[in-house]
């Protein structure tokens, strides 16, 4: 037999890693509740056509695609937004707005595996649908800020931009959407010089090139100053001006509304996905040069999928990368551990009673592991010790006759004989801090 391995780019999550992933996931669910988002579960497999429609060349090329036995062309979802847009164009078409939806799950991209880049990864994805207003963008950013704080990250920042700035300039120069997308893709890869060359080849005006050059260089932490700088650069481009005003309004709202985080506003910032129409953002920590999450406004996507014109804004949090950042910043998950007890019996005749006691403990909320290896008490206790179980309940024939059991404290290495009916109380008493 060959030695089986996980497929390239795929990972197993062993208990500690799985617990950390689920911890972050649990926090996203908690926040969903606090912000009024409702969960939807969409399929991992969708039609290729849907997934490829608006995801952008970058992602399209890295999709896992296949034909099913019926000859349908399908793909593993590389992102959630296409599925949500599909729902909004169909089943949820007539739902009253705003809609606050979220999903959590795995996604698939044929990325080159490296630190923080996997072929199967996990996101929590929040979408606020039905509003064009800055309040909606602010809500998504506030939720994300709360998530990063709650998982304990102390040092993180948002990279912020607005696709309407560059698109507004290019649109005014009659650059069509397809070519705009190509330029945005280059910006996403930080290939500013190539973006300028492409724009030149498209015969845009010298003023346009000069403006783009200026735009690509504008960035900074002080939102008021950066917004003013961008405004003076794009003053001749009406649509770009609208975009800067919109960005400024959202940032102002965040500031006056007490949502505080570090940020870098970059006028030439673009994201890989093609469907953004407004403010966009990504999250970074200083220890990693890959984004922990990203999102933005996409006001036309739902319409492009056949739905009503519906504005929307949303974010995807990369759960894997958030856990990596937690490791780097040494903020371990606060995983609540349960009281754990091992139930050991001496002699085959006590097997059923042991099972019954284990059930009784579980009903009372105590995690109980029944000895299943038929080991002698000392061996079973050694194993409990090794696995960090703090207490053992031992059933012996002598004690059982009197309706008693032995409760052993594994750390203190002492044990007491107690009446069966007091067992739960004793366990509670002896584990003051759930352990």
Of 115-123, 130-138, 183-191, 222-230, the window that binds ligand AMP (rule: CB under 6 A) is 115-123
At residue 14, the 3 state secondary structure works out as: coil
* Both tokens assigned to 143: 């939720």
184 binds ligand AMP (CB under 6 A): no
409 binds ligand AMP (CB under 6 A): no
Handedness of CA 158, 61, 56, 140 (dihedral sign): negative
Minimal distance in Å, beta carbon 194 to ligand AMP?
21
316 binds ligand AMP (CB under 6 A): yes
Of 27-35, 111-119, 262-270, 357-365, the window that binds ligand AMP (rule: CB under 6 A) is 111-119
318 binds ligand AMP (CB under 6 A): yes
The DSSP line for 298-315 is: -SSHHHHTTS----EEEE
159 binds ligand AMP (CB under 6 A): no
Rounded to whole angstroms, how far apart are CA atoms 142 and 191? 31
Of 35-43, 44-52, 291-299, 400-408, the window that binds ligand AMP (rule: CB under 6 A) is 291-299
Task: Give helix 192-201 / helix 206-217 axis angle, nearest 10°.
Answer: 170
Residue with tokens 């953002």: 281
Closer CB to ligand AMP, 182 or 231, in the complex:
182
118 binds ligand AMP (CB under 6 A): yes
Of 34-42, 215-223, 313-321, 343-351, the window that binds ligand AMP (rule: CB under 6 A) is 313-321
Binding mask 53-82 for ligand AMP (x = CB under 6 A): --------------------------x---
- Number of helices (H), then strands (E), belonging to the chain: the values are 17, 17
Of 190-198, 200-208, 287-295, 352-360, the window that binds ligand AMP (rule: CB under 6 A) is 287-295
Residue with tokens 């299943």: 372
Closer CB to ligand AMP, 248 or 293, in the complex:
293
Of 112-120, 249-257, 303-311, 384-392, the window that binds ligand AMP (rule: CB under 6 A) is 112-120
Quick one: which of 386, 390, 393 has its CA closest to 410? 390
Among 54, 219, 321, 339, which residue interacts with ligand AMP (rule: CB under 6 A)? 321
Minimal distance in Å, beta carbon 216 to ligand AMP?
21
Say if CB 405 and CB 393 are below 8 A apart: yes
Applying CB under 6 A, the site for ligand AMP has a residue count of: 18
Among 22, 29, 117, 150, which residue interacts with ligand AMP (rule: CB under 6 A)? 117
Closer CB to ligand AMP, 280 or 342, in the complex:
280
Closer CB to ligand AMP, 295 or 333, in the complex:
295
Residue ranges in 208-267 that form contacts with ligand AMP under rule CB under 6 A: none
Among 22, 272, 353, 396, which residue interacts with ligand AMP (rule: CB under 6 A)? 272
Minimal distance in Å, beta carbon 284 to ligand AMP?
9
121 binds ligand AMP (CB under 6 A): yes
Minimal distance in Å, beta carbon 4 to ligand AMP?
23
Handedness of CA 234, 294, 53, 65 (dihedral sign): positive
Which residues, in sequence order, are bridge partners of residue 162? 279
- Other Cβ atoms less than 10 A from the Cβ of 119: the count is 20
Please write down the long-range contacts of 250-253, taking CB distance under 8 Å and 24 or more positions apart: 250/134, 250/137, 250/138, 250/141, 250/279, 251/160, 251/223, 251/227, 252/223, 253/134, 253/135, 253/138
Radius of gyration of the chain (CA): 28
| Burial environment of residue 328 by CB neighbours within 10 A (0 to 12, 13 to 18, 19 or more) | middle
Quick one: which of 346, 357, 341, 340 has its CA closest to 399? 346
* Both tokens assigned to 148: 């990063």
- Listed in sequence order, the DSSP H helices in 8-133 are 15-35, 48-53, 57-60, 81-89
Closer CB to ligand AMP, 122 or 345, in the complex:
122
123 binds ligand AMP (CB under 6 A): yes
126 binds ligand AMP (CB under 6 A): no
Closer CB to ligand AMP, 325 or 354, in the complex:
325
Contacts with ligand AMP by CB under 6 A lie at 79, 109, 111, 116-118, 121, 123, 272-273, 291-294, 316, 318, 320-321
């Amino acid at each position: 037999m060959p030695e089986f391995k996980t497929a390239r780019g795929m990972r197993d999550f062993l208990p500690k890693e799985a617990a950390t992933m689920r911890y972050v996931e649990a926090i996203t669910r908690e926040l969903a509740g606090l912000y009024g988002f409702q969960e939807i579960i969409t399929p991992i497999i969708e039609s290729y056509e849907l997934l490829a429609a608006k995801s952008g060349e970058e992602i399209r090329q890295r999709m896992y695609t296949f034909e099913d036995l019926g000859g349908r062309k399908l793909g593993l979802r590389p992102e959630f937004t296409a599925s949500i847009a599909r729902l909004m164009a169909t089943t949820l078409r007539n739902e009253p707005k705003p809609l606050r939806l979220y999903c959590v799950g795995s996604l698939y991209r044929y990325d080159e595996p490296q630190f923080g880049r996997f072929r199967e990864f996990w996101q929590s994805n929040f979408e606020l649908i039905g509003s064009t207003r800055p309040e909606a963008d602010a809500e998504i950013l506030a939720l994300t800020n709360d998530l990063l704080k709650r998982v304990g990250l102390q040092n993180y920042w948002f990279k912020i931009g607005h696709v309407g700035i560059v698109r507004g300039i290019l649109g005014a120069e009659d650059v069509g959407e397809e070519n705009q997308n190509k330029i945005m893709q280059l910006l996403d890869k930080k290939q500013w010089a190539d973006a300028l060359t492409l724009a030149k080849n498209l015969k845009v005006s010298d003023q346009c090139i000069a403006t783009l050059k200026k735009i690509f260089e504008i960035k900074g932490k002080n939102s008021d100053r950066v917004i003013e700088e961008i405004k003076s650069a794009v003053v001749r481009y009406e649509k770009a001006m609208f975009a800067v005003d919109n960005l400024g309004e959202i940032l102002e709202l965040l500031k006056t509304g007490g949502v505080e985080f570090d940020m870098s506003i970059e006028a030439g910032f673009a994201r890989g996905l093609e469907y953004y129409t407004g403010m966009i953002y990504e999250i970074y920590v200083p220890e990693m040069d890959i984004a922990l999450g990203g999102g933005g406004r996409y006001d036309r996507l739902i319409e492009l999928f056949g739905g009503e014109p519906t504005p929307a804004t949303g974010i995807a949090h990369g759960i894997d990368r958030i856990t990596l950042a937690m490791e780097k910043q040494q903020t371990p998950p606060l995983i609540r551990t349960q009281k754990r007890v091992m139930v050991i019996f001496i002699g085959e005749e006590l097997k059923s009673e042991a099972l019954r006691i284990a059930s009784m403990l579980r009903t009372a909320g105590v995690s109980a592991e029944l000895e299943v290896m038929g080991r002698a008490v000392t061996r079973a206790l050694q194993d409990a010790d090794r696995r960090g179980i703090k207490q053992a309940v031992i059933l012996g024939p002598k004690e059982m006759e009197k309706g008693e059991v032995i409760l052993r404290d594994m750390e203190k290495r002492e044990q007491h004989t107690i009446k069966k009916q007091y067992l739960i109380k004793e366990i509670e008493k002896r584990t003051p801090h759930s352990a």
